[in-house]
Amino acid sequence: MISKATIDTVFETARVEEVIGDFVQLKRAGSNFKGLSPFSDERSPSFMVSPAKGIWKDFSSGKGGNAIAFLMEHSHFTYPEAIRYLAKKYNIEIEETEQTDEEKANTDVRESMYLVSEFAKDYFHNTLLHSEEGKAIGLSYFKERGFTGETIKKFVLGYSPETWDALTKEALGKGYKLEFLESTGLTIPRDDRPFDRFKGRVMFPIQSMSGRILGFGGRILTNDKKAAKYLNSPESEIYHKSKVLYGIFQAKQSIAKENNCYLVEGYTDVIQFHQAGIENVVASSGTALTPDQIRLINRLTKNITVLFDGDAAGLRASIRGIDLILEEGMNVKVCAFPDGEDPDSFSKKTPYEELVKYLDENSKDFIQFKASMLMNEAKNDPIKKADLIRDMVVSISKIPDRIQREIYIQECSRIMDISEQVLVSTLAQLVQKDVTELGKKQKQEQKAFEVVKNEAPVEVRKVDILYGLERKIIEILLLYGNKTEEFEDILLKTNESGEIENVSEKKSYKVFQRIYLSLQEDEVELANPLFRDIYNNLIAYFHQNETFSIEQYLMHLNPDFAQEVTDILMADERVVLHNWEGQNIFPKTKNETISQYVSETILTLRWYLVDKIIEEIKSSISSEPDSNNIEPLSMAMDYSKLINSFSKKLGRVMSRYSN
């Protein structure tokens, strides 16, 4: 178990913008950062990071929290995993305390699978570097491919011995369970003797964006025609090949920095590019490109350059993925290597400067590339040319942005030497077809919704004013609770004539003290259970600690409260997302008049509560002729006078809250 001292050090050291910046491309927005949500598919940014508060908020999904919460939400880390990840990132030594049997037993299945995969990665890597068989076979192969020792270490390459159960036997001996070796696909079950899936192969660990080991790719080194050249881990609880890109962990920072991602096909393409000095490269690992893989890149950049092998068959097969990239609203360029070359072979023999120059000069816009490639095939065949043009327009129809579509139509018209009007007409037909199909789908969904609606009418709820006021009290405590402000007190004093009069007097209070005393004075308890618990927690924290920082408070906050606290803290960041200042709209900031804001909020809450009391009194007044209503009427009048005093203090007429 990780010690409290280590956890405290991690919280104090980790910077939320640095942690999230490893996964999401962030752009500065005033004192904050914003970016595209990593939890939903969106085109405009709704994800906000506040370094000053040490928290983040995703307005599209409602998620939020500190750096630890982000890792738990985004990478599905457990709390200890997130702490270990950050400790490793910031070179913090982890102090361990003894785990109880119950704590060990509570480690979930996914964590056990990750642990087994991590063990296998280390086992394969050590076998490659230190065993006689590994050095003679595996290391020799990698050296022949031109991989340096530094590259082998960077990608944690390994070797699985030719022995049937070398890994399985070693793992079981170290206390790892057979069920997790089998569920990760490392071991293939057999009644008499389970055996290693990857025996006799060089190993390529497949990592998540956060660096966790999800699975493996293994390449056979013999000429066994019955065995697959490359073998991947099977689908599992932690490995879904359609959602993974090989090399994303090593490439993520370079992709964000360069604002471009090179997409290749195989493991060695990625590794050789890194070794050549170009690190913003990932591979689809031989599988057809999927929307999930594209969205993974979309978190880091809007620009993809697809790198193709020089052979024509490979070009036609790979170019199909471009339409998917376009559908995601991304910018696509294409670069093909000379005949007989692939990214691996070309980068191995080309110096860095020449490689960069080649990529710059030969990366074409997808429409230019696709047109020039397919026109060579069509040549003078009008039917083939017509099919080609139709194919081009289909690709253009996938682009969500109308302006981009129009520009591409103009370019296509120029390249193909065909009337722009014909292309526009064809595009309109395709778009209309998509709209019609979408309309049918929406009608079906609407019909289904109406069935549900008829079965269970939805009740329209009124705005909960009390909820809003109580939430504002929590917001004030979080943002300004420890600030000292001058507040106006109304005191009763006897003047020289012996008459009692109201006297205004300024006094300094901590904001939390003012709120606490005001609510105590009226014996007010917050109605919402969650707000009441957070309020009590905050007041206790202020009384026990001389200083207050959001980071420190969140560190010790009950997870049940953390989501609501983050929502409240980041509510104002919507202003930044909407770019009001860019439209010459300048929202008033609360810290300009904190004492006034606090006083108005408390008075408004008191006004609302008194108004509710008046309503209750009125409802209790009997309409019977003989009923004695003098006392309740008198009480109602007294409370009405109190509302009038609130009006004077607030400087506005109080309208009815309750109906």
- Could you tell me if residue 458 is inside a domain? no
Q: Do 88 and 138 belong to one domain?
A: no
Average pLDDT over residues 570-589: 50
Instruction: State whether 230 and 339 are in the same domain.
Output: no
Sign of torsion, CA 233 238 239 244? negative
Mean pLDDT of 298-307: 87
pLDDT band of residue 455 (cuts 50, 70, 90) is very low
pLDDT of 38 higher than 80 = yes
Same domain, 298 and 350: yes
Helix axes 366-378, 402-416, angle to 10 degrees: 30
Cα(312)–Cα(308) distance, integer angstroms? 9
Highest mean pLDDT among 169-183, 424-438, 599-613: 169-183
Domain of residue 589, residue span: 464-659
Contact 168, 129 (CB under 8 A): no
Q: What is the pLDDT of residue 144?
A: 94
User: How far are the Cα atoms of 517, 532, 533 from residue 527, in angstroms, in the given order?
Assistant: 18, 7, 10
- pLDDT tens sequence across 124-143: 999 999 999 999 999 999 99
Specify the CATH number for the domain of residue 55: 3.90.580.10
Residues 325, 193 share a domain? no
Please work out, in degrees rounded to the nearest 5, the angle formed at the alpha carbon of residue 561 by the alpha carbons of 559 and 567.
Answer: 110
Alpha-carbon gap, residue 489 to 519, rounded angstroms: 15
446 lies in some domain: no
Average pLDDT over the chain, rounded to whole? Answer: 79
Question: How confident is the model over 519-537, as pLDDT tens digits?
Answer: 776 566 788 888 888 888 8
Position 194 in a domain: yes
* Each residue's pLDDT tens digit, 459-475: 444 447 788 888 888 88
Check whether residue 231 and residue 263 sit in a common domain.
Answer: no
Query: What percent of the chain is modeled with pLDDT above 70?
Result: 77
Q: How confident is the model at residue 347, as a pLDDT?
A: 94
Cβ count within 10 A of residue 495: 9
Task: Return the pLDDT at 448.
Answer: 46
**Number of separate domains in the chain:** 4
Position 272 in a domain: yes
The DSSP symbol for 572 reads: G
Say what the pLDDT of residue 443 is. 53
Helix (H/G/I), strand (E/B), else coil: 35? strand
